[in-house]
Amino acid sequence: MKSLQEKILKEGSVSGSDILKVDSFLNHQIDIRFLNEIGKEFKERFKEDKVDKILTIEASGIGIASIASQYFENVPVVFAKKVESKNLDKEVYETKVYSFTKGKEYTVRVSKKYLNKGENILVVDDFLANGRAVLGLNNIINQSGANLVGVGIVIEKGFQEGRKVLEDEGIRVESLAIVESIQDGKVVFK
Ligand code: G4P
Ligand code: NA
Ligand code: NA
């Protein structure tokens, strides 16, 4: 997605050797007009597929999924929760996710009420790094008996193993921008 590459070059910045910061439009301030373009592009990529629900993970995935859902006949958006809440139903699907970026393991959970057998689920998220968050969501989808249609990612870091990890599981990955490398603080696209 050309406009996304341009936006990353214009507004993004590099932190350390492998972190791309896009706080001005995706991870802190949110550019709604631009998220609409992203939502339309996800619909274009998955227009042949039946999608009953969009699943994401808090926090940054929620805005992306919510805007995208409007281009998928307003299907519901469900987000996996990272924080244990007293109010969350006791009946949950849960799984552990190890984050290499953060160097720690965390648990994600979705109430059994909101994922059902036979539903077709599109997963969306902001970044694909090592793929562990999406693998966790796939695990939860499998527990529920729903089907994973595919994964829509805004920015894939092509120099990390996420795509391989997911494709090895037979998961279809559609990324709107793929960063091939970060060299001397500069972003290079595939
Ligand atoms: P993985 O799921 O692909 O294995 O990713 P990993 O655990 O390594 O990433 C942990 C968090 O860091 C995720 O956000 C992910 O979106 C984010 N992340 C990874 N690489 C980058 C990057 O280059 N730039 C930015 N901006 N974020 C990156 P999270 O913990 O789920 O937090 P949230 O932002 O969704 O709340
Ligand atoms: Na994320
Ligand atoms: Na993030």
The residue ranking higher by pLDDT, 102 or 62, is: 62
Q: Is 72's pLDDT higher than 90?
A: yes
Nearest residue CA, atom 15 of ligand 1?
A: 127
Average pLDDT score, the chain: 96
In the CATH hierarchy, which fold is given to the domain comprising 1-80?
Rossmann fold (3.40.50)
Centre of ligand 2 to C-alpha 47, Å, is 24
The pLDDT of residue 101 is 86
d(CA 186, CA 13): 8
Q: Is 129 annotated as a binding residue?
A: yes
Please write the tens of the pLDDT for every residue from 133-152: 999 999 999 999 999 999 99
Instruction: Give the atom of ligand 1 at the shortest distance from the alpha carbon of 127.
Output: 16
The pLDDT of residue 157 is 98
Assigned token pair, 142: 């499998």
Nearest residue CA, atom 11 of ligand 1?
A: 101
Please write the tens of the pLDDT for every residue from 28-51: 999 999 999 999 999 999 999 999
Q: Are strands 92-99 and 120-128 parallel, antiparallel or unpaired?
A: unpaired
- 24 pocket-lining for ligand 1 (C-beta < 6 Å): no
- 139 pocket-lining for ligand 1 (C-beta < 6 Å): no
The pLDDT of residue 88 is 62
* DSSP H or E run through 78: strand 77-80
Q: Where in the chain is the domain with CATH 3.40.50.2020?
A: 1-80
pTM comes to 0.96
- Closest to 36 measured CA to CA, from 55, 60, 64: 64
Instruction: Tell me what percent of the residues of the chain surpass a pLDDT of 70.
Output: 98
Stretch 47-73: mean pLDDT: 98
Using CB atoms within 10 Å of the CB of residue 33, give its burial: 0 to 12 exposed, 13 to 18 middle, 19+ buried.
Answer: exposed
Please write the tens of the pLDDT for every residue from 79-129: 999 988 776 667 999 999 999 888 999 999 999 999 999 999 999 999 999
Contact assessment for residue 145 and residue 173, using Cβ atoms and an 8 Å cutoff: no
Question: 10 Å Cβ neighbour count for 96?
Answer: 11
